[in-house]
Structure 1
Amino acid sequence: MDVNLPDVLADVTAAFERYEVALVTNDVAVLDELFWNSPHTLRYGATENLYGFDEIRAFRAGRPSAGLARTLGRTVITTFGRDFATANTEFHRAGSDRVGRQSQTWVRTTEGWRVVAAHVSLMA
């Protein structure tokens, strides 16, 4: 299996970075675009479990837009072949000593790279 083919790694990294900008600016349209529009998509958040694209979209639409800024720590993106990747990062928010963790599973679809599973958690 080809791991971290340079062109694939560059594509997934760009998608991840686009997601990050959309997240901290609350660009819900881009966030929705980057999640796979499927009932099989899931997102486990720090305080919620969301099953299917519709639940994820509803959460994003109702989420407060304040306090989203964060600083990323160590980020590891790994691609497997040409159509599958994982992205994991640590993050910190101003005023909090908790370390956040975010994991995403990305798949190349006919529309482009999409998150099919995500998990966000906070360490004490």
Structure 2
Amino acid sequence: MTPNIPEVVEEIREKFERYEAALVSKDVDVLDDTFWNSPHTRRLAIHENGYGFDEIHAHRVARPPGPGIKLERLRLDILTLGRDFAVVNLIFKMRGRGDLPARQTQTWVRFPDLGWKVVSAHVSVTEATPAY
């Protein structure tokens, strides 16, 4: 399994940026399209524990539009393994937390009939400033 095939990394980067823009604009259609529509999908975040696509969607609909929690990106890492699996990790400054960073992880799978979908996502805060 070949890591970080350049064109696959670029595909994931584009999908990730599309998702990030949709968070800010509250484009629920794009947000929903990003995630695998399955009861097995997970999104564990600061103000949400979404077990399954339906719970994740319900949170998205209820969330107010606006700039969201991200103030500044500190580090973005994309790891692809082969052509059908990827993990994205983002460390960012979160609004209202000073210099304490937060983190975001997404696990992406390319489905033959659906294309790239997030199957698991996690957002959390830190209590100390780690090296990044």
TM-score range, shorter chain: over 0.9
Q: How many residues were matched structurally?
A: 124
Match of 1:121 in 2: 124
**Mapped contact 2:24–2:66 kept (Cα < 8 A):** no
Cα displacement string for residues 68-114 of structure 1 (whole angstroms, at most 9, x for unaligned residues)? 15322100000001100000001123443131100000001222211
Match of 1:75 in 2: 76
From 109, 114, 131, give the equivalent of 1:107. 109
Match of 2:61 in 1: 61
**Mapped contact 1:12–1:85 kept (Cα < 8 A):** yes
Inter-partner Cα distance in structure 2 for 1:28 and 1:118: 16
Inter-partner Cα distance in structure 1 for 2:106 and 2:21: 15
Unpaired runs of 5+ residues, structure 2, are: 128-132
TM-score by length of 2: 0.87
RMSD: 1.4
Cα displacement string for residues 12-60 of structure 1 (whole angstroms, at most 9, x for unaligned residues)? 1111111111112221110110000011000101132110000000000
| Percent pairwise identity | 51
